[in-house]
Each structure stands twice: as structure tokens, then as C-alpha cells.
Structure 1
């Protein structure tokens, strides 16, 4: 019996190892697909009531496929320019940050973070620059995973609830609901909100003639990253664009661009929209956001921007819920 148990343990570990080696090359597009599917699922439910589950999935997947194919085309055309502009923006940002009379210990930490981010970002983009077929393959994996998750969301949810332990089932259900609230805030509000802001500012950079296509895309990406961080935000990017226009003698354009950024990027949207669509009892702790983004980025690459804060946010939520339940039982 003991030998049989050992054999089954070895077989189980072998299966897990082979499974991991199989999914590891496509783990990044799968995680992105799950994230996008989670964000779009409410729209899918509403659309499915009108045209059916399968047609709704096809419509949303087709829309995503078009956007991703445009992304691949843009990546091939502008990747080098975007890489150069992002390196320039990051270099200027960290030079400004490091000149703010910071404590020596904090200065050293930020200096190391700045160097590490620039190096990792360069390596990440360079890996895809010379391997567009790999990027295209990952895009196809993302599209098909997205479609499969949308169509099988109810079955996936049913399976999750069926594997819950019979003992303490109420506790597990409360933890799941609390975790779902956190995911709603982190993905459908926090992350989606940042993506919309980054896209809006990228278009503004292009329309107002502040940068070319590569520079505008880089500004949008940088805005998205800053919006995910506590304290700082997209206002730093539109403020820099405003200063650039003023220095170029384009006073009217500078004023219009500043108004655009103030009302459509930051801070007005934060006050008018975020408070309405985010429950007041749910929030992202600044430390959790900061540690999650940078820790996830260093550990998992670009996809870590999603994995890090979402994981830490869920852990913090589960701990708080567990403490509340334990106090009630006592």
C-alpha cells in the first residue's frame, strides 16, 4: 500500500510538471485572456440576452481580434520608436524624481528601481521585436481562450462552486463574494479606467501634435502605468505636454490641451466617475498597489502588472474577511 501511494504521488507530480511545461509558453496570453474576459463578461451577458450566447461571444471575440491584429501591425511598425520614447520618458521621469531632495536610502532604492525597470523593459520588448511570429501565435491563443471563457463562463462558475468543501461552505461563499468585489474594483474599474485614460491621452498627444505615433503610444503606456500607482497619475503626463506646447510658443493649444487633460484624464474623472462606479467600502491600498505592480513586474514580466496587485488585493481582502468572520464566531 505504501509503495502504491508513492507511485501515485510520483505520477501526480509528473503530470503536474508536464502540465506546467505545456502551459508555461502560453501562460501570458491565457492570463490576459482571462482578465479581458472578466472585464467584458457583463457586456457579454447583456448582449447574449438579445442575440444569444454564441453570437454575443462571436461579436466580442471578433472585435477583440480586430484590435489585437491592429496591435500586432502597430507593434511591427512602431515598436522601435515606442521603445525609444518610453526609455526617454522613463529616464526624464526618474531624473526628475531623483532630484526632489529625497532621503539617501529612498534615493538609492529609486535609483536601483529605475535602472532595473529600464533594463527589464528593454529586454521584454527586444524579445518580441525579433520574434513577431511568437507574438502572433500568442495573440491567437488569447483570442481563442477569450472566446472559450465567455461561452463557458457559467460552467466554470458551476465547477468552482461544486468543488467547495461542504464544511464551512458559507464561509467559502462569503470569501468568494468578497474576492469578487475586489476583482470588480481592481479589473473593471481600476485597470480598465487606467487603460481608457492612457488611450485618451495618447490620442491627445497625436491630435495636438506633441509627438508622432510612436511618442503618443509611449505616452499612453506611461500614463497607464502612472495611473496604476498611488499618488502619481496621468496628470503628470498632460502637464508635461502642456509645458512642451507653452515652450514651443503654442499658447492656445497648450491651454486647450491642459483643459483636455484636466477634465478627461486626471483629476476630474477620478472625482466624478470613480466614486460613482466604485463602492466606497472597497479600495486599493497604496502600498498594496505599489508592491503588487513592481513585484509582479519583476517576477512575471508585463503580465505581473495584473497578477501582482490582483493577488495582493485578494489576499488582503480574504484576511480582512477572515478576521471579521472569526470575531463574529467568537
Structure 2
């Protein structure tokens, strides 16, 4: 019996190893596909009621395919410009941040963080710059996975709940609810709004003539990232653009980007939408949000912006459950 158990453990470990080796190269596009499916699932449900589940999934997948093709085209045309502009923006932002009167410990942390982010970004972009076939393959995987998740969403959900261990079902449900709550605020809330703000800012930066196409897109990407962080926001980017125009003597354009930025990017939209979108901390405090986003990005790349906050929210749920169980044991002992 022990030999049979050992054999099955060995076979299981072998299967898990082979599965991981197979999935790990396409893990990022799979996470992107699941993320997009989660964001668009409410729309999919509405469309499914009118045209059917598969036709709705096909329609949304077709739109995703078109946008993916445009993304690859833009990547090939503007990637170098975006890379240099974004690196310059990030370096300028951290120089401004480090120039503030910060405690020594906070200063050292931000200094190391700025170097790690720049290094990770350059390595991430360089890995794709000379490998468009690799990027195209990952986009294809993401598109097919997106369709599969949408079509089988209910079956996937039922299968996940069916796999929950009966002895720890309550804890497992709490973990699922914690991840769902974080994803709801992060993806369907602030991320969706932040992407819209980034697109608006990139359009106005290009229209007003603050930067070229690559630099405007880079400013939009930086706006998305800053909008996800507590305290700071997109006002940093449009404010820098307004200051640049003002110093250049373009007072009318500086006033225009200031008014548009205030009303369409930050902080007015945050004040109007905050009650509908929920807390920007997604159930955790501001410091944990900051660590989750930056730490997740450094560890996993852009998909880490999603993985980081979710993993920390799960950790907090586990700690709270552990404290609850400990307090229950203490009360029972009394």
C-alpha cells in the first residue's frame, strides 16, 4: 500500500511538473485572457440573453482580435518611442518624488524601487522588441483562452466550487470572495476607469502637441499606473504637461490642458465616481495596495499589477481567519 501511494505521488508530481512547464511560457496571456473575460462578463451576459452564449462570445472575441491586431501594429511602430519616453517619465517622476523631504527609510526604499522598476521595464520590453512572433503567439493564445473562458464561465465556476474541500469549505469560500472583491474594485472599477483616463490624456497630449504619438501613449500608460495607486493619480501627468507648456510660454495651451485634466482625468472624476467604484484600496490599506502593485510588477511584469494586490488580499484573509481561529481556541479554553 505504501509503495502504491509513493508511486501515485511520484506520478502526480511528474504530471504537475510537465503541466507547469507547458503552461508557464503562456501564463501571462492566460492571465490577461481571464482578466479581460472577467471585466467583460457582465456585457457577455447581456448579449447572451439576446443572441446566445456562443454568438456573444464570438462577437466579443472578434472585437478583441481586431484590437489585438491594432496593438501588435502599434507595438511594432511605436515601441521604441514609447519605451524611451516612458523610461524618461518614470525617471523624472521618481526624481521629483525623491526630491521631497522624505524620511531616510522611505527615501532609500523609493530609490531602490525606482531602479528595480526601470530595470524590470527595460528587460520586459527588450524581450518583446526583437521577438514580434513571440508576442503574436501570446496574443493568439490570449484570444482563444478569452473565448474559452467566456463560453465555459459557468462550468468553470461550478467546477471550482466542486473542488473545495468539505473540511475547509468556509475558508475556501472566504478566499474566493476576497479575491473576487479585490478583482471587482481593481478591474471592473478603477482599472477600467484608469485605462479610459489614460486614453483621454494620450489623445489630448498628442492633439495639443505636448509630445509625439509614442510619447503621448507613454504618458497615457503612466497615467493608468498612477491612477491605480493611492494618494497620487493622473493629475501628476497632466500637471507636468501644463507646467511644461507654461514654461514654454504657451499659456493658452497650458490653461486648456489644466482644465481638461482637472475635469476629465483627476481629481474631479475621482470625486464623482468614488461612491460607485468603492475604495481605491480594494479592501486593504494604502501601503499594502502600493506594495501589491509595485511588488507584483517587479516580480511578474505587467500582469503582476493584478497578481500582487490579489495575493496580498488573500494573505490578509488568511491572517484574519488565523486570528479568528486562535481567539476561538482561547475562548474555548476559558
Q: TM-score range by the shorter chain?
A: over 0.9
Q: 1:77 is matched with which residue?
A: 77
Deviation per CA, 1:76-114, whole angstroms, max 9, x where unpaired? 000110111011111111111111132333222222211
- Show the counterpart of 1:313: 313
Deviation at residue 235 of structure 1 after TM alignment: 0.5
Could you say what secondary structure the match of 1:101 adopts?
coil
Tell me what 1:136 maps to.
136
User: 131-140 or 100-109, which moves further after superposition?
Assistant: 100-109
Q: Specify whether residues 282 and 110 from structure 1 end up closer, same or farther in structure 2 by C-alpha distance, changes over 3 A only.
A: closer
Tell me whether 157-166 or 228-237 shows the greater mean CA deviation: 157-166
Contact kept in structure 2, 1:48 and 1:55, CA below 8 Å: yes
Aligned to 1:263: 263
Q: Residue 144 of structure 1: CA displacement?
A: 0.4
Q: Hey, what does 1:108 align to over in structure 2?
A: 108
- Unaligned 5+ segments in structure 1 are none
Contact 2:296 2:305 in 1 (8 A): yes
The change in CA–CA distance for 1:3 and 1:328 in structure 2 (over 3 A counts) is closer
What is the CA-CA distance between 1:276 and the residue it aligns to?
1.8
In structure 1, the residue matched to 2:55 is 55
The match for 2:3 is: 3
| Aligned residue number for residue 247 of structure 1 | 247
Q: CA deviation at 1:175?
A: 4.8
Alignment of 1:280-291 (within 5 A): 283-291=283-291
Query: Secondary structure of 1:211's match?
Result: coil
- Show CA shifts across 1:28-85 (max 9, x none): 0000111111111011001111111111111111111111111110000001101110
Sort the Cα spacing of 1:69 and 1:301 in 2 relative to 1 into closer, same or farther, 3 A.
same
Q: Which residue of 2 aligns with 1:152?
A: 152
Distance 1:281 1:217, change over 3 A: closer
2:227 aligned residue: 227
Aligned to 1:300: 300
8 Å Cα contact 2:82-2:215 kept in structure 1: yes
Name 2:274's counterpart in structure 1: 274
Task: Between 167-176 and 153-162, report the one with greater CA deviation.
Answer: 167-176
Aligned residues: 330
Residue 171 of structure 1 and its aligned partner are, at CA, apart by: 5.5
Contact 1:179 1:317 (C-alpha < 8 Å) held by counterparts: no
User: Relative to 1, partners in 2 of residues 1:126 and 1:168: Cα closer, same or farther, differing over 3 Å?
Assistant: closer
In the alignment, what sits opposite 1:124?
A: 124
CA distance in 2, matches of 1:10, 1:280: 45
Structure 2: segments with no counterpart, 5+ residues: none
Distance 1:179 1:323 in 2: 19
Separation of aligned partners in 1, 2:10 and 2:168: 31
Tell me: CA distance 1:174–1:107, structure 2 relative to 1, closer, same or farther (3 Å). closer
